[in-house]
Amino acid sequence: MNRLLTFSTFSLVLLLGTYLALAQQAPQSKAPLPMTFFVTSIPIGNGGNLGGLAGADAHCQALATAAGAGDHTWHAYMSTQPQGDQPAVNARDRIGQGPWYNAKGEMIARDLATLHGDTLGLARLGNNITKLTALTEKGDIAPGLNDNPDPKDRTWAYASTHPNSNRHEMLTGSQTDGRAYTDHNDHTCSNWTSNVAGHEQDLRNNPGPAAQIGLSDRNGGGKGSWNSSHGTRGCSQEDLAFSHGVGLFYCFAIN
C-alpha cells in the first residue's frame, strides 16, 4: 500500500510539473500594438487649403487625441514644393522611421524603405496599405471605389451627407517615392493653402491648381498607387469630390 501511495504521489507531482512547464511554454496573449498610422475620418472641409503642413498636422493630432492616441506626435503624410525661398519638403522625411500600426494593431510597414518600396525586392513585396488596413483613427474602413455606385457621390453636397460615399483619394502632393515634385506644376494646392476652383478634366496632365492624391484602396487610375495616383481637377472642396475624394489624408506618428 505504501509503495502504491508513493507511486501515485510521484505520478501526481510529475504530471503537475509537466503541466506547469507546458503552461510556461504556451504563447502568451499580447496587448494590441498602439496605433501609429491612420486615415483621417473627416476632412478639414476647405478643399486643398489645409492651413499648410501645420494645419494638416494639427488635424492629425486632434483626431488622434480624440481616439486616445494623443501621446504620440502626429504628422500628415504630405509634401510641399519649393516656393520663394522655402525649399521643398518630402512627405517621407516627416513621418518618423517606423514601424507603423493601424487601429487594430496590424503592421502597415516596418520602415521607410518598406513603405515606399525603395529596392526592387521591397517594391515587389509592397507595404500593407490596403482597403482593409488603411483604417481611420476610429478603426473604420474608408469607403472605396464602387462601394457606393450612386453617381451623385461626385458632388460635395452628396458626399458631405453620405459618409459611405466613395472617398478613397488621399491628399499627398507626393511622387511614389514619397518625395516632392520638382516640375513647375502645382501638385500641392499651393502647398496646402489654396481652395481655388479648377476645371481641368485631364487629371494626369493638369497644368492648373491641383493636388496629387493616392488611393487608400489601391483601386483606380495610376496603377492604384497608395500615395501617387493622379491629380485632382482643382483645389476646391467640390473639385476633390469630383474625382472621388473629400480631402482625407494619411497620418503617421513620428515617435
Tell the burial category of 44 from Cβ atoms under 10 Å away from its Cβ (0-12, 13-18, 19+).
buried
Instruction: Please name the residue that has the C-alpha cell 503642413.
Output: 53
Instruction: Please state, for a pLDDT cut of 70, what percent of the chain lies above it.
Output: 87
Tell the residue number behind the cell numbers 514601424, with chain if given: 99
What is the C-alpha separation between 108 and 102, in angstroms, rounded? 7
Q: Say whether pLDDT at 166 is over 80.
A: yes
- Across the range 60-84, mean pLDDT stands at 97
Distance, CA of 187 to CA of 179 (rounded, Å): 12
| DSSP for 57-91, written as a single string | HHHHHHHHHHTT-TTS-EEE---B--BTTBPPB-G
Which three-class secondary structure state does DSSP give residue 44? Answer: coil
Q: Which amino acid is at 233?
A: R
What would the pLDDT profile of 192-250 be if each residue is shown by its tens digit? 999 999 987 777 777 789 999 999 999 987 788 999 999 999 999 999 999 999 999 99
> What pTM was estimated for this model as a whole?
0.86
User: Which pLDDT belongs to residue 30?
Assistant: 64
Q: Encode pLDDT of 85-122 as tens digits.
A: 999 999 999 999 999 999 999 999 999 999 999 999 99
